[in-house]
Amino acid sequence: MTMPTASANSLASNPSHYARLIARELGLQAPDLGRLLPNTGLKVEQLLDEDTLLSAHQQIQLLSNALDISNDPAFGFRLGQRLTPATHGAMGFLALSSANLFEALQAIHLYAPTRMSFVRVELFDRGEWLECYVHFDVTLTDKMRRCLSEAFIMMFFEIAGSILGREPHEVETFFNHSAPPHAALYNKHIPGPYGFSAAQLMAKIPKALCFYPNISANHENYQLALQQCETMLSQLRSSTHSFRYRVEKMMLSFPPGTLTEEETAAALFMSKRTLARKLKTENTGFRHIQKDILSQQAANYLRDSKLTVDAIAALLNYHDSSNFRRAFKGWFNVTPEAFRQSL
């Protein structure tokens, strides 16, 4: 996932909808909205306009102002409870109509930048567990980092609960801040085990829970939301000129899996080493991008077509279908056949 740069964080790309949610949680009426706006450069009329977009700095400053107004150290939890799937536009719609929690988390991993430009989500397969890391790519005070962490974890539990039809009490949560003065309230909001002073903000999710069928899954809705998310992400990447976007665009114009790193670098008029360095600054790499594209294409073929696994392997330029099966199991921790059956 592309890491926002300083210029990306100054880009106005965050929906103002979240700002109005904050105002509602504070109980502010229209005449009082100016209290939220010091140091944001915004006017009340802009905040009320559905089409207004905020930069990362404006969004963080507005939340900081809200935290001061609330005089409640647990305001992040209160705000997080409002962050139901319906509040996240196409990304929330995509997550809610996904086949399972794993697919929903992939949606958040891929499309979080379309809603919150400074938030980056990473997923790591650890055998029986899936680890979901959350990064805030902006400079934050300790108080703001804690508030955002509490809000984002609540958002995760709201989405997971909607998909599973119950609280995911098996999930272990690790906060990268020390135990706050209101630590006793965490029992009220976090359904499973949790801890403080971790290296990174992370949710540890049992793999079995990830593939439990979503009670609200809807394939047609999923495809519609996916198209909307792809369009928004493409527009966002075009505006930030990321190298990941340029590499992805080139890969998608070649037969799957055939474009080499050397060919890509040459087409961008740079050395392979320079390309690797530029992708690293965006927290990705050539093989990582290739894996993301191939895994998404494989999942789409299995979901949307009646092609055999051998045929899909051939389409993705795997000359030996057993190699494709091994790769697929590495991506999703299940065989292609089991993946298709779960749908």
Angle between helices 142-164 and 101-111 (to 10 degrees): 140
Assigned domain for 231 exists: no
Arithmetic mean of pLDDT over the chain: 89
Residue 194's domain comprises: 6-210
Assigned domain for 215 exists: no
Domain identity same for 92 and 198:
yes
Q: Of 210, 230, 254, which marks where a domain is finished?
A: 210
Burial readout 95-109 (b: 16 or more C-beta within 10 A, e: otherwise): bbbbbbbbbbbbbbb
Report the candidate in 294, 336, 291, 333 with the shortest Cα–Cα distance to residue 315: 294
pLDDT in tens, 288-297: 999 988 998 8
Domain identity same for 148 and 12:
yes
- Tokens 């045929």 label which residue? 311
Domain identity same for 14 and 136:
yes
Give CA separation, 19 vs 66, 119, 190, in Å: 9, 16, 24
Domain identity same for 256 and 204:
no
pLDDT of residue 3: 34
pLDDT of residue 269: 80
Assigned domain for 217 exists: no
Tokens of 119: 């938030």
Assigned domain for 216 exists: no
Domain identity same for 169 and 48:
yes
CATH number at 282 reads: 1.10.10.60
Assigned domain for 233 exists: no
Confidence of residue 12 (pLDDT cuts 50, 70, 90): low
pLDDT of residue 2: 33
126 CB neighbour count, 10 Å cutoff? 11
Beta bridge partners of 22: none
pLDDT in tens, 66-116: 999 999 999 999 999 999 998 999 999 999 999 999 999 999 999 998 889
Assigned domain for 317 exists: yes
pTM listed for this prediction: 0.67
Q: How many domains does the chain have?
A: 2
Domain identity same for 177 and 262:
no
Residue 233 CB-half CA count within 13 A: 22
Domain identity same for 133 and 21:
yes
pLDDT of residue 239: 54
Range in 45-54, 128-137, 251-260, 306-315 the model is least confident about: 251-260
Once rounded to an integer, what is the mean pLDDT over residues 214-233? 88
CATH number at 124 reads: 3.90.1520
Tokens of 322: 């057993």
**pLDDT for 275 beyond 60:** yes
Domain identity same for 139 and 56:
yes
pLDDT in tens, 133-146: 999 988 899 999 99
pLDDT of residue 248: 82
Determine the Cα–Cα distance for residues 275 and 246; give it in Å rounded to an integer: 11
Determine the Cα–Cα distance for residues 148 and 89; give it in Å rounded to an integer: 19
Report the candidate in 309, 305, 297, 303 with the shortest Cα–Cα distance to residue 337: 309
Domain identity same for 196 and 277:
no
Determine the Cα–Cα distance for residues 99 and 97; give it in Å rounded to an integer: 7
Q: Of 191, 210, 229, which marks where a domain is finished?
A: 210
Domain identity same for 151 and 102:
yes
Domain identity same for 17 and 72:
yes
- Nearest 5°: the CA angle 114, 237, 234 is 75
Confidence of residue 240 (pLDDT cuts 50, 70, 90): low
Domain identity same for 206 and 246:
no
pLDDT of residue 8: 42
pLDDT of residue 138: 85
In terms of average pLDDT, the best of 98-107, 255-264, 310-319 is: 98-107
**pLDDT for 55 beyond 90:** no
Report the candidate in 268, 249, 326, 320 with the shortest Cα–Cα distance to residue 295: 326
